[in-house]
Structure 1
Amino acid sequence: MPHCPLCESQQTNIYFEDKRQYWQCQTCQLVFVHPDQRVDAEAEKAVYDLHENDPQDLGYRRFLSRMANPILERIEPNSTGLDFGCGPGPALAMMLEEQGHQVALYDHYYYPNKQVLEQQYDFVTATEVIEHLFSPNVVWQVWLDLLKPGGWLGVMTKLVKDVDAFATWHYRHDPTHVVFFSRATFEFLAKRDQLQLEFIGNDVMLLKKGERISRA
C-alpha cells in the first residue's frame, strides 16, 4: 500500500483503476498514481516539449489571465514574484511584468536556475504544475518557504470531483499527471499550514501566507 506523497499518511485506498492504478489518501483526499506507474524523466520531458506555450498567443494569455487577474488584484505595486514551473514560454511572467512587477523564473527542465529558490518573494505562481509532482510534499514546502509573510501562492490545476467524474476525466489521461487535488485537499493544506484560502473559478486557488507575529 503506497503512502500519500503529500501528507505522508499510510491511510490510502484504491480509488480507481484502468491502465494505471489511482489511490486516494483518507487524510488529505489527494488522488495519486501508484509510484511504480510514473513515467521517467525522458518521457516526461518529451510530453512537455509538445506543449505550445507562446507568450504572444492571445488564447493562451486568456487562459493564464484566470491566474494573472486575481493575483494582480491582491499584490502591491512593484512586487517581486517567482513563476515556478514556467515551461519554455514564460507567458504568465511576461503578463505580470507588463503590469510593473518583477518575476523570476524556475523550471526543472527549461529554467533550472536554483539560485532563484534562495530568496523570498511577494508571490509565487504555479500554473498546471502541481499535478506533475512526484513529491508534492517537498515542493509545497519549498513554495511556502519562498513566500514572504503575507505573500500569495497561486496554484492552477483541475480538481477532482468524485469517482464517477474521474472515470471519464480527460485530465487523468496525460501520462505526466500523477497527483490530483480536490477542494478538500487544498482545505486540508490551508488548515494545516495556517493559510488563507480562496477558490477562484474552477481551477485557481490563492493561498495567503500568514503575517509574522511581532513579539514584544
Structure 2
Amino acid sequence: MTESPTCPLCGAAHCSHYHRDQRRDYLQCPRCALIFVPPAYHLAPAEERAVYDQHQNSPDDAGYRRFLSRLFTPLAAELAPGARGLDFGSGPGPTLSVMFEEAGHPMRIYDPYYAPDSAVLAGEYDFITATEVVEHLAAPGRELERLVALLRPAGWLGLMTKRPRDRAAFASWHYILDPTHVCFYSEATFEWLAEHLGMQVVFPAADVVMMRRDPKRYRRMT
C-alpha cells in the first residue's frame, strides 16, 4: 500500500481517507483537520492557468464588489487610516485592491500568473488579503507562513474561502468540482493555524476568516 502524503498545511503524517469521487481522492489531516487532494491529482501550471483565464472578474462588476465586501467591510473597519495592504492572488481582474485604494489604503498586488512581481513579497504590510486563493495552494503551510511574516505587529490577514460542513455535504458540494481547488479549511483548521502561529482569529461570515498577528505570541510554524 502506498503511504499517504503528509498534510500540506501542518506536515502531519497518517492522513486518512475522507472522500473519493470519479476524479480524485480527498484526505483529512488528523492534526489540523485540513481536507486536501493528494499531489498526484493536481493540475499542471499550464492547465491551472487555463482555468483561471476563464474568470471574468472586474472592478466594474457591482455583483463582484458585493461578494468581496463580505471581507472588505469587516476588515476595513479594523484598519487605521492609510494602512498599507497587499492583495495576494489578485487574479486577472484585481478588484479588492481597488476597493481598498478607494478607501484610502495604498495597495500592492501579487499573483503568480498575472502580477508575478516577487519584490512585493519582500515588503511589510498592515494587512494582507487573499480572496478565493487558499483553496488553490499546493503548499498552504509554507505560503501562509510567508504571508504572515510580511505583516507588521498586530497586522491582519483576511481570507475568503468556503468552509466544508460535514462528510455528507462534502460529497455533493459544488466547491470540490473545481479541479484547481485542492485544500478545504474548516473553522477547526483555521483555529489550529491561528494557535500555532500565535494569532487571534475571527469568522465574520461563513466564507470569511480574519487573523490578527499578536506581537507577543507570534511564532513561525517551522
TM range (shorter): over 0.9
Counterpart selection for 2:85 from 45, 59, 81: 81
1:148 aligns with 2:146: no
Q: CA deviation at 1:194?
A: 1.1
Aligned ranges 1:90-129 → 2 under 5 Å: 90-129=94-133
**Cα deviation code 1:47-97 (max 9, x no counterpart):** 000001111100000000011111110010001000000011110000000
Deviations 1:165-198 (A, max 9, x none): 1000000010000011001000101111111100
Q: Does 1:48 align with 2:40?
A: no
TM-score, scaled to structure 2: 0.94
By how many angstroms is 1:201 displaced? Answer: 1.2
Per the alignment, in what secondary structure is the counterpart of residue 104 of structure 1? strand
Contact 1:11 1:27 in 2 (8 A): no
Alignment of 1:1-216 (within 5 A): 1-18=4-21, 19-211=23-215
Q: Tell me the distance in 2 between the aligned counterparts of 1:69 and 1:99.
A: 11
CA–CA distance in structure 1, aligned partners of residues 216 and 20 of structure 2: 44
What residue identity is the alignment partner of 2:6?
H
- Partners of 1:85 and 1:159 lie apart in 2 by 19
Q: How many residues align?
A: 213
Supply the distance in 2 between the matched residues of 1:7 and 1:145 (Cα, whole angstroms): 17
Alpha-carbon deviations, 1:102-154, whole Å to 9, x = none? 01000000000000000110000000000000010110111111100100000
Q: Look up the equivalent residue of 1:119 and give its one-letter code.
A: G
Deviations 1:4-51 (A, max 9, x none): 000000030000001210000010000001110111101100000000
In the aligned structure 2, how far is the partner of 1:200 from the partner of 1:168? 25
The DSSP-based 3-state class of the residue aligned with 1:188 is helix
Q: Percent same amino acid among aligned pairs?
A: 48
Unaligned runs of 5+ in 2: 218-222
Give 3-state SS (helix, strand or coil) of 1:74's partner: coil
Correspondence for 2:220: none
Read off the aligned partner of 1:6 and give its amino acid letter.
L
Instruction: List alignment gaps of at least 5 residues for structure 1.
Output: none
Looking at structure 1, the residues matched to 117 and 153 of structure 2 have their Cα atoms a distance apart, in angstroms, of 24
- The runs of at least 4 aligned residues of structure 1 exceeding 4 Å deviation read none
TM-score normalised to the size of structure 1? 0.97
Partner AA of 1:44 in structure 2? E
Shift in Å at residue 212 of structure 1?
Answer: 5.2
